[in-house]
A and B are shown apart, each in its own frame.
Chain A
């Protein structure tokens, strides 16, 4: 019997091609979206789940609470470096303590002992400074050597793939004791080779440098290690609790250390830093940064799931609408089957069989669509996710589950309605056409629901576009066009920076050059606690720090509202602050802030010589906060170049820059970006949202239009006779088109009325993420409604006009 049902289902699908295609396409879009989102969520939530004892592994992270209660403080995945020793010596709950420091980046690596046939690798990443205990916490398979020697100075452990790259002709055992030099100055011995971790992980390190190397020697100073008030997300700390130690005990001991070393500001009770234990399974999710690897956002998962559910729901609505609309044609079959002895459950099974076959076809189609979606959204999806990820048992299970749920959801209601038909009314030909029964039909409600979704998404897309456009074109308070930012290597010495900047200045196309730590607007940030004594009282606040030279203000066209620019930029002797900082210090008139002394460390005391107008130094999501600029040459690893207008494009200028760069830094990679591009990149998250939203909107409109198309085909078919009679009585084509269309347009207007307040509320919520957001205009809703009506009328016009053009003789003859 089941076989028989499937056979009939298949024949029905083939016979009603248009309806089947509409159903399959809609369902396939929904299913493939759900599949990709499921794969993504599964991938992202299964990072670092394979570590033995993972429930005992934690990271210590730092929270810097806001001054005022309820304000937003700072979060940092790092700890002050003295914490490394404090955690080791003073917290009994920790079995293992391992620093994880990622201060090396774009490093030059030289292989070969002392000048004998050296081999250079430039710009090497994935280097970590850690100790022997790291390998007790994160367990690697050792191919040669062991972790013990990592407790010594100048030791290095390599992963197998990197070791093979450095020493292609050696066995792993032979590599032990080989020499490696970093940045021409640090000499190491290979102490061991480990296999890379198997499984999805954020621990992507390939070169492990022994921690002792940094505790002594010049790096300790160069990296500003050793101070409790300096927190850098590059200096993280991994710990493993002793067995059977409650987390609360560890947290208590950590709190004791916290209180011992970190004191509250005068007159306050709040500590300036609070340390937390953060479990390893939270490592991959946003909140605290994570060795610079891309992280996932659980909020985004939620939104994506909503999108998937919307699409699936809309596809189901199409199915329900089209099948109940075809009730008249189906009713005859129901009547005959009942008279032959079919029970209601037999009939329900028969119709569910059909929805099941349709859903299966859609599932097959969606499997083919998944690789295309992955390609389209490659910027948005995690890098490790490929179409091959689909061929796992749990994905298969999810798909099967989805097919079953969808076929029940889509098929149950139509099956129930159809099987309830009384056989006698059908067989006698007294079947009511059921297109209009006076009240509101479920079909109308569902269509309204579909278009409510569609209009809501159109409104959302409009507003996100407006916000991004505003962010990219609004006056940010500084110049952003025709500026190239060139990033200098980490190892750049002050003298090299000077030479390189000098070379650029002499080029003909260059108007101005500024050395600095960051351009005005950037994703990265450095925060320090600034102290001052104002009217005899001690004042403290966190502030953004920029190292800038005296060209900075001119080049970026920042506006000085009080005081003057730096006189010289070779010594750390003066400071310029922004208006917000002047206000934070208690000076409503910026002139009063001049000549106050501020200090970021006990060693320095800088007079404020100028106050600049506030500018947006981060994205519009963030409020403008205190900022301090000072000429600190050794922090300047960015050179900004203002180029003059050119007719030949900038590629030649860029080549000149690269040549100059190579002459100063032969071993490093040239990394230059136009500033306006960097600003656009600040909004990559919003643009991802926009891309996603546009696609979701497009698909929702597409699915809803398909559904409407199906309904209008049915409406014109079942009203063929009516249309024929009306034409005979003198109705024009226009009359007929209006007659059929007005029912649908009415539904869309109802949708608009429902969608308006809901989408207004939701978009208000979204805009509240921005400290500086656009306001919502009423015309957006009008435009969205108009758009939906235009789309709907375009969809149905072909069918209605076709029906209206038919010669009435033809439609009436067949009766």
Chain B
């Protein structure tokens, strides 16, 4: 599903450059649950962002579902964000001005779905995550774990093929973290959604079926 060939990423610094990723080769199959691990500054977040089409590699080739991403138009990328890719962020990144319901509904709006279908999809997911009672609250009225639950619900509602999670439990305490990870495990096994997460935690990594270690911008 995801194939990286000699992917590099560097930023210009003064007269030289700061290399974050160096010739990364990687492939992830459909249905995998991959954890990317490594020390701070090793380039794991950058790698995730490149896979999630939020950042462009400086060099190398990236195939997403056998499509060469680096040749895709802006429109095509937006299309992938709408239909195939879901994100979960460490800082949740819910839209503060929207209620729980509206936050979850937002990706569906961009898919030009009929209002009736949107309603039933959002209702399903609220039900599944047990947050029906919270649907009219705003993000700042929720605890961190609840916010992340909404964040995952929002990532799932568009039924993506893959979810990219950037330290999804980084801001949560351990019992909440466990719940979230169990949820990911369930999504992976039951729904067959590919999951790629960046994490610091060995415990979290055990929920996945493969670990990729990164150090100094290289897969080790």
Contact = CB atoms under 8 A, between A and B. Distances in A.
A343 B80 CA distance: 11
Interface stretch (A7-15, A163-171, A434-442, A677-685): A7-15
A336 B95 contact: yes
Interface string A328-362: 00001101111111111010000000000000000
B78 A343 contact: yes
Interface stretch (B20-28, B59-67, B81-89): B81-89
B32 interface: no
B93 A4 contact: no
A604 B107 CA distance: 98
Contact of B97 (A1, A12, A339, A342): A12
A427 B87 CA distance: 11
A427 B109 contact: no
Contacts of A424: 49, 54-55
Q: Which of A7, A332, A336, A428 has the most CB of B within 10 A?
A: A336
B154 interface: yes
A773 interface: no
Contacts of A336: 93-95
Interface string A487-520: 0000000000000000000000000000000000
B19 interface: no
B93 A341 contact: no
A22 to B, nearest CB: 19
Output the residue of A7, A340, A427 with the most chain B CB within 10 A. Answer: A340
A145 interface: no
Nearest to A12: B97
A423 interface: yes
A12 B98 CA distance: 10
A341 B97 contact: no
Contacts of A428: 45
A340 B154 contact: yes
B107 A340 contact: yes
Contact of B106 (A337, A344, A429): A337
B147 to A, nearest CB: 13
Nearest to B55: A424
A333 B54 contact: no
Nearest to A426: B93
Contacts of B87: 339-340
Interface residues of A, number: 25
Interface residues of B, number: 31
Contacts of B6: none
Contact of B82 (A7, A15, A341): A341
Task: Name the residue in B74, B83, B89, B106 with the highest tally of chain A Cβ atoms < 10 Å from its Cβ.
Answer: B106
B128 interface: no
Contacts of B159: none
B111 interface: yes
Given A8-B98, A333-B95, A333-B97, A341 B110 contact: yes
B107 A341 contact: yes
B17 interface: no
B97 A11 contact: yes
B97 A15 contact: yes
A4 B102 contact: yes
A20 to B, nearest CB: 13
A351 to B, nearest CB: 13
Interface of B: 45, 49, 52, 54-55, 74-75, 78-79, 81-83, 87, 89, 91, 93-98, 102, 105-107, 109-112, 154, 158
B72 to A, nearest CB: 14
B78 A427 contact: no
Contacts of B107: 340-341
Ordered nearest first, which 5 A-B pairs have the shortest CB separation?
A341-B82, A341-B81, A341-B110, A424-B54, A340-B107
Contacts of A343: 74-75, 78, 110
A678 B158 CA distance: 79
A357 B55 CA distance: 34
Given A341-B111, A424-B54, A8 B97 contact: yes
A341 B55 contact: no
A338 B154 CA distance: 14
Contacts of B89: 427
B136 to A, nearest CB: 13
Given A8-B98, A11-B97, A332-B93, A340 B54 contact: no
Contacts of A332: 93
B54 A337 contact: no
Nearest to A3: B115
A413 B106 CA distance: 24
Contact of B93 (A12, A335, A346): A335
Contacts of B91: 429
Contacts of A11: 97
Contacts of A429: 91
Given A339-B87, A340-B81, A423 B97 contact: no
Contacts of B102: 4, 7-8
B45 to A, nearest CB: 8
Nearest to B107: A340
Nearest to A9: B97
A339 B110 contact: no
11 contacts: A4-B105, A336-B93, A340-B82, A340-B87, A341-B111, A342-B78, A343-B110, A344-B74, A424-B49, A424-B55, A427-B54
